Amino acid sequence: MTEIRTPLDAAHGLMETDPEDGAARLAFYARLADGELFVLLEEEARDETIAPRVFPLDDGPVVLAFDAEERLAEFTGAPAPYVALPGRVVVAQLAGQGVGLGVNLGVAPSSTLLPPEALDWLAETLGPAPEEAEARPTGFHKPRGLHEGLLGALDTALAKAGGLAQSALLAGVEYEDGTRGHWLAFVGADEAAQPALARAAGEAVRFSGAEEGAVDVVFLTEDAPIVARLSKVALRFDLPKPEAPPARAPAPPGSDPSKPPILR
């Protein structure tokens, strides 16, 4: 095995330590979806069409992917065509195809074989778009009673949202109908970025094991009067500033979320 250790290895190790720990399993799937995977292909990608190499195992057909180029090279032992894609794109394209996904098979401690039903579940978990609703808040308080692991899941998700908003404020909220919950308020988010931020927050909630609806996502301008009220009691997440973009190069297949690669 290559002498490297990746975040996926760490997440897999925690899951293996306590197989009954549902939060650890969810954290592994979240890491798989958020990371980059190098998918072994039958031939070099052409335009937006890619042909993953399918291995006919006893339990059914499987596509192979690795979380590091070195691991793919170790598995093949020779130059081989591949494509680098976000884990969530790989999952979305394979779901419903009756194909499993082998991750780091034989070359890493995180060697895992995900059956088709696991991919279908993960795609469904990643897929739902947030639902819009209206409710009038009457008061705010410090966040409390949150599901264990939710803060860590939010911190991880928001660390990848650099440049989409200035900050996020997490606070307890009470609505005019007497119900209570929590607000995750994004401050200074561009309107175009709001769907992506809402989806990222929703996935963090689901992968933390918290109940759906445990956190309501709202978007506030920097000068909104309510920001000052929230800031007094809220837990603040400062989103990282975006790095300067590198020199432009031809976009690889699957890099544009609006144009996922075509599998054949």
- Tens-place pLDDT, residues 117-173: 999 999 988 876 666 667 789 999 999 888 878 888 888 888 888 888 999 999 999
User: Residue 255's closest CA among 35, 129, 84, 65?
Assistant: 84
Per DSSP (E only), the strands in the chain are 36-40, 49-50, 54-57, 60-66, 82-86, 100-103, 112-114, 137-141, 167-175, 180-187, 216-220, 235-238, 262-263
Kindly state the tokens that stand for 181.
């919950």
| Residue-range domain boundaries for the chain | 7-127, 137-238
Length of the chain: 264
Q: Which residues of the chain have pLDDT under 50?
A: none
Q: Rounded to the nearest 5°, which phi and psi values hold at 45?
A: -65, 140
Q: Is 194 exposed, middle or buried (0-12, 13-18, 19+ CB in 10 A)?
A: middle
Task: Write down the pTM of the prediction.
Answer: 0.65
- Distance between CA atoms of 3 and 103, rounded to whole angstroms? 17
The confidence score (pLDDT) of residue 3 equals: 75
203-221: b or e for each residue (b if 16 or more CB lie within 10 Å)?
A: bbbbbbbbeeebbbbbbbe
At the top level of CATH, the class of 137-238 is alpha beta
Would you give the DSSP letter of residue 176? T
H or E element that contains 70? helix 69-76
